[in-house]
Amino acid sequence: MPANDMSTPLRYEVRTLGCQMNVHDSERMAGLLEAAGYQRAEAADGAADVIVFNTCAVRENADNKLYGNLGHLRPLKVANPRLQIAVGGCLAQKDRGEIVRRAPWVDVVFGTHNIGSLPVLLARARAEREAQVEIRESLEVFPSTLPARRDSAHAAWVSISVGCNNTCTFCIVPALRGKERDRRPGEILAEVRALVESGVAEVTLLGQNVNAYGVEFGEVGAFAALLRACGRIEGLERVRFTSPHPRDFTDDVIEAMAETANVMPHLHMPLQSGSDSVLRRMRRSYRRERYLGIIDRVRAAMPEAAITTDIIVGFPGETEAEFADTVDVVRAARFAGAYTFQYSKRPGTPAAQMPDQVPQDVVTDRYGRLVEVADDVAWAENRTLLGHQVEVLVAAGDGRKDAATHRVSGRARDNRLVHIDPAGFDPQPGDLLAARVTHAAPHHLVADDAVQLVRRALVPDGACAVGGPVGLGLPRVGPG
């Protein structure tokens, strides 16, 4: 007998609170649920029978976001006891039973290592009418081998590794995701080929430390070789990757980027701090000279490359002089964009126990000053593209910017956000447009001149399920 005796399948909603790895995992959670017979609910209609939170433990206020969301759901749960709430991801791995203690209306808590257990845990919670908490200490199944329901038919995440072997003092990821585990190249390339055959034009290779790929099976140069192999896949138009670590960024990767036509001229490489002494306290195994040297070599090989980064402001002990070093590097590196974060303690990390925690008002002040400089630098970089032609892949979800201008949005080859007046075309997600840049702002470009349709999307827009077997022996819900 199916777990649900209703005449219609149960509907689910997955809410992602976190990074790209969380987005990738959420696609797998959705794929698993659909393989088990659930149907996707529209997020706005409030009719989901199962709501899954995929959480982050790294981003600022991660705990508050989760427990705030859970608090808002409590009245719904009281009104509809059949509603199931599940919490997975990094915060679930860290807090474990604490989640059910603080929010006893949660039905399922599962960790980063047992995503594949989600349908079984939901079924068990329904049958036993009590919360199910299952946290595994090591990876059960590589997430990329699980079914996936993607939000875009034209762009896809492809995980090449999980976990991290670094010991950065501010980061809790290694404790939550484990040591680095690498997929074999043949497995990755087979997934990419299947994606391309389904109509995907762009893939992003994903890992906590993506350019350390190959460390588990001891192959030096494995990441550069993987980029080149992706370049040989017919029909794959764009390849991206995130996020590399400066320590592992080698010249063979730069050469592979420059020599492989479908590898995009964009590098997102976290800086975290421009001060050597702060980098030392962060236990980041590079210094500003090495970091800037990598950028110089990337730009020498690919003058059109856009460089973006992550920066933490107010790390314990940060002095005004050390902060000034970071500002200097932002100017020297000419970042096209910087994701800037105010340092906040993460329980269980060495940095949380360090002396000389910077007062919040000082952190906030420095954050504001750094954002102002970073925006000025990004704006200057964007203005250099005025009059240049850009090729834009129209974003999923129709990529519409606003009703007033009818512009559509997407990403240029260098990953800059571009808004385009379609000029009589009716662009669809996955279409490639070309146009000349007519306006530059700190965080986007406008290209309204000489608009051309380069290529129509290979398949109609809509999510599709790929990436793993559907015959997983999952408990099915709903009719059939």
Task: Say whether both 230 and 177 belong to one domain.
Answer: yes
Pairing between strand 389-394 and 432-436?
antiparallel
Show the DSSP H helices in 115-169 as ranges: 118-128
Task: Say whether both 158 and 135 belong to one domain.
Answer: no
Query: Looking at residue 358, what DSSP letter applies?
Result: P
The C-alpha atoms of residue 83 and residue 99 are separated, in whole angstroms, by 17
Helix (H) or strand (E) holding 369: helix 360-383
Which pLDDT belongs to residue 57?
A: 75
> Does the residue 448 lie in any domain?
yes
Residue of 261, 240, 242, 298 lying closest to 415 (CA atoms): 240
Sign of CA dihedral 255, 218, 229, 389: negative
CATH number at residue 28: 3.40.50.12160
Q: Helix (H, G, I), strand (E, B), or coil: what is residue 74?
A: helix
Do the Cβ atoms of 269 and 302 come closer than 8 Å? Answer: no
Helix (H) or strand (E) holding 181: strand 181-182
Query: Looking at residue 79, what DSSP letter applies?
Result: H
Structure-token pair, residue 21: 């790895």
Task: Say whether both 400 and 330 belong to one domain.
Answer: no
> Does the residue 460 lie in any domain?
no
Task: Say whether both 165 and 281 belong to one domain.
Answer: yes
Task: Say whether both 399 and 282 belong to one domain.
Answer: no
The C-alpha atoms of residue 88 and residue 291 are separated, in whole angstroms, by 35
Sheet of 266-268, strand order: 266-268, 306-313, 337-342
The C-alpha atoms of residue 195 and residue 153 are separated, in whole angstroms, by 9
HEC string of 280-330? HHHCCCCCHHHHHHHHHHHHHHCCCCEEEEEEEECCCCCCHHHHHHHHHHH
Domain finish residue from 348, 383, 418: 383
CATH number at residue 378: 3.80.30.20
Do the Cβ atoms of 200 and 239 come closer than 8 Å? Answer: no
> Does the residue 462 lie in any domain?
no
In Å, how far from its chain's centre is CA 230? 20
Q: Is 166 exposed, middle or buried (0-12, 13-18, 19+ CB in 10 A)?
A: middle
Instruction: Please name the amino acid found at residue 432.
Output: L
> Does the residue 475 lie in any domain?
no
Task: Say whether both 178 and 193 belong to one domain.
Answer: yes
Show the DSSP H helices in 80-211 as ranges: 90-95, 97-102, 118-128, 173-177, 185-197
The domain total for the chain is 3
Domain finish residue from 90, 122, 140: 140
The C-alpha atoms of residue 308 and residue 328 are separated, in whole angstroms, by 15
CATH number at residue 447: 2.40.50
Q: Length of the chain, please?
A: 480
Show the DSSP H helices in 154-287 as ranges: 173-177, 185-197, 222-231, 251-259, 276-282
Which pLDDT belongs to residue 476?
A: 45
Task: Say whether both 96 and 45 belong to one domain.
Answer: yes
Task: Say whether both 296 and 444 belong to one domain.
Answer: no
Task: Say whether both 444 and 363 belong to one domain.
Answer: no
Taking CA 343 as the corner, what is the angle to CA 338 and CA 349, rounded to the nearest 5 degrees? 120
Which pLDDT belongs to residue 22?
A: 80
Longest CA span, the chain: 68
> Does the residue 153 lie in any domain?
yes
Structure-token pair, residue 199: 């109509």
Pairing between strand 445-447 and 266-268?
unpaired
Q: 55 - beta bridge partners?
A: 89
Q: Encode the chain (480 residues) as per-residue pLDDT tens digits.
A: 234 445 578 999 999 887 778 888 889 899 999 999 999 987 655 689 999 999 887 665 677 888 899 999 999 898 888 899 999 988 888 888 889 999 999 999 998 888 889 999 999 999 999 999 998 877 777 777 788 888 788 999 999 998 889 999 998 877 777 888 999 999 999 999 999 999 999 999 999 899 999 998 889 899 999 999 999 999 999 999 999 999 999 999 999 999 999 999 999 999 999 999 999 999 999 999 999 999 999 999 999 999 999 999 999 999 999 999 999 999 999 999 999 999 988 878 999 999 999 999 999 999 999 999 999 999 999 999 999 999 999 987 545 566 667 789 999 999 999 999 887 778 888 999 999 999 999 999 999 998 898 988 876 655 454 444 433 444 444 433
> Does the residue 5 lie in any domain?
no
Residue of 430, 478, 463 lying closest to 30 (CA atoms): 463
Task: Say whether both 105 and 183 belong to one domain.
Answer: no
Residue-range definition of the domain harbouring residue 429: 389-455
Do the Cβ atoms of 396 and 155 come closer than 8 Å? Answer: yes
Domain finish residue from 383, 402, 436: 383
Contacts for 329 with CB less than 8 Å, ≥ 6 apart: 271, 274, 288, 291, 292
Task: Say whether both 52 and 37 belong to one domain.
Answer: yes
Task: Say whether both 312 and 428 belong to one domain.
Answer: no
Contacts for 471 with CB less than 8 Å, ≥ 6 apart: none
Which pLDDT belongs to residue 472?
A: 40
Pairing between strand 84-89 and 108-110?
parallel
The C-alpha atoms of residue 471 and residue 17 are separated, in whole angstroms, by 29
Which pLDDT belongs to residue 433?
A: 93
Query: Looking at residue 246, what DSSP letter applies?
Result: G
Structure-token pair, residue 274: 């421009």
